[in-house]
């Protein structure tokens, strides 16, 4: 374990996922015993041990892999239905974040991230995933499976290791071969991935991030929502199994009551802007994932593309984190698209790296 924290991981844990079996009766899919924090972390991010699972046991294992995906504020905004030979993913609107994500973009992108983990994990069990999205039913994602050869690819092995690392990087450049592999692997229908590595580009992108971050830090609804999803103590993390663990955001562990009181002192516009600037300018570059068609299917596909990028970066030993502030303020997001030369697209995801950690 390194000293950097991710929002949930290795220093935190994982939210409960609700699995809806064919009967439609929900069952909680999460460790239920009173595990210690460390045990819970270890059991959540454990790699698969056996590859001969079948039927419901196999599908539930794939759901477990799905829940290890990136997701906005670690709200775990998904519901899974497990039927014979099919997993369906749908949004859990109870976990929406209306202040930061009013149109549900991040929620659907998060479902895309979970879908991609399931696709990669299925291959390790000899299953090829066939995906369809049903716009008539809240864009439910249906994943059916066909037999194929068992393949434990690097992306699969990286699933329990992947994490967002909000830290200063070593600033070393990443090889062109790796960069082009990362750009290529995130390709998806109607989704563009752009890479920016020059100092001028990073400085320019930072101006958008800081403008958006400054606007958000003055929005009481945004701050209230963020505070709601921050978990200051191990005890709360262990109990709630969701949200952003305070150390992963560069803030201290505190008793929960104290954290809620000092939130205003810890999370300030200047401090957050400075963190973003230092992290991005020490990274090797910025990757932007954008959709040509601004609709829910595209947001899901952007999430899938990002997740493959993140898994490949992890497999290369590279770290990364989101700097999505700039896409969360519509005016800034439009200016950013213009700066990227893709005015008609929606910029979905902005990531500061890939980079080597320090």
Ligand X SMILES: Cc1cc2nc3c(=O)[nH]c(=O)nc-3n(C[C@H](O)[C@H](O)[C@H](O)COP(=O)(O)O)c2cc1C
Given the rule CB under 6 A, which residues bind ligand X? 6-9, 70-74, 106, 109-110, 113, 163-164, 166, 244, 321-322, 324-325
Residue 327, helix vs strand vs coil: helix
Query: CB of residue 55 vs ligand X: minimum separation in angstroms?
Result: 28
Tell which residue, 120, 165, 132, 115, has the closest CA to residue 358: 165
Query: CB of residue 348 vs ligand X: minimum separation in angstroms?
Result: 7
Query: CB of residue 349 vs ligand X: minimum separation in angstroms?
Result: 6
Return the number of the residue (145 or 231) whose C-beta is nearest ligand X: 231
Judge contact between 80 and 55, C-beta under 8 A: no
CB atoms near residue 192 (< 10 Å): 20
Query: CB of residue 303 vs ligand X: minimum separation in angstroms?
Result: 6
Return the number of the residue (73 or 145) whose C-beta is nearest ligand X: 73
Tokens of 160: 């329990």
Long-range contacts of 232-237 (CB under 8 A, 24+ apart): 232/256, 232/258, 232/259, 232/260, 233/259, 234/12, 234/37, 237/8, 237/12, 237/13, 237/37
Burial class (CB in 10 A: 0-12, 13-18, 19+), 224: exposed
Tell which residue, 329, 355, 326, 357, has the closest CA to residue 339: 326
Task: Report the alpha-carbon distance of residue 262 to residue 250 in Å, rounded.
Answer: 14
């Amino acid at each position: 374990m390194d000293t950097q924290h991710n929002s949930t991981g290795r220093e935190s844990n994982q939210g409960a996922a609700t699995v809806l079996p064919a009967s439609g009766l929900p069952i909680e899919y999460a460790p239920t015993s009173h595990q210690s924090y460390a045990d819970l972390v270890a059991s959540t991010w454990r790699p698969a041990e056996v590859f001969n699972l079948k039927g419901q046991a196999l599908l539930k294992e794939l759901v477990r892999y799905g829940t290890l995906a990136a997701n906005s504020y670690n709200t775990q905004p998904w519901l899974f239905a497990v039927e014979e030979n099919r997993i369906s993913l749908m949004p859990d609107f109870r976990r929406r974040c209306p202040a930061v994500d009013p149109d549900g973009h991040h929620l659907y992108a998060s479902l895309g991230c979970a879908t991609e983990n399931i696709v990669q994990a299925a291959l390790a069990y000899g299953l090829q995933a066939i995906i369809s999205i049903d716009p008539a039913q809240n864009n439910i994602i249906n994943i059916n499976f066909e037999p194929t050869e068992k393949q434990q690819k690097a992306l699969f092995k990286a699933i329990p290791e992947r994490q967002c690392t909000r830290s200063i990087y070593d600033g070393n450049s990443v090889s062109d071969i790796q960069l082009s592999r990362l750009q290529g692997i995130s390709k998806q229908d109607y989704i563009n991935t752009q890479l920016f590595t020059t100092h001028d580009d990073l400085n320019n992108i930072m101006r958008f991030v800081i403008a958006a971050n400054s606007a958000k830090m003055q929005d009481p609804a945004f701050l209230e929502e963020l505070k709601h999803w921050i978990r200051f103590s191990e005890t709360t993390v262990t109990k709630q199994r969701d949200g952003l663990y305070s150390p992963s955001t560069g803030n201290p562990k505190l008793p929960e009551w104290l954290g809620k009181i000092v939130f205003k002192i810890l999370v300030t516009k200047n401090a957050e802007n400075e963190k973003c600037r230092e992290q991005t300018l020490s990274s090797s570059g910025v990757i932007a994932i954008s959709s040509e068609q601004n609709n829910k299917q595209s947001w899901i596909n952007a999430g899938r593309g990002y997740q493959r990028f993140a898994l490949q970066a992890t497999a290369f030993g590279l770290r990364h984190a989101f700097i999505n502030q700039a896409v969360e303020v519509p005016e800034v997001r439009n200016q950013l698209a213009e700066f990227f030369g893709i005015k008609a697209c929606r910029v979905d995801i902005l990531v500061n790296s890939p980079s080597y950690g320090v």
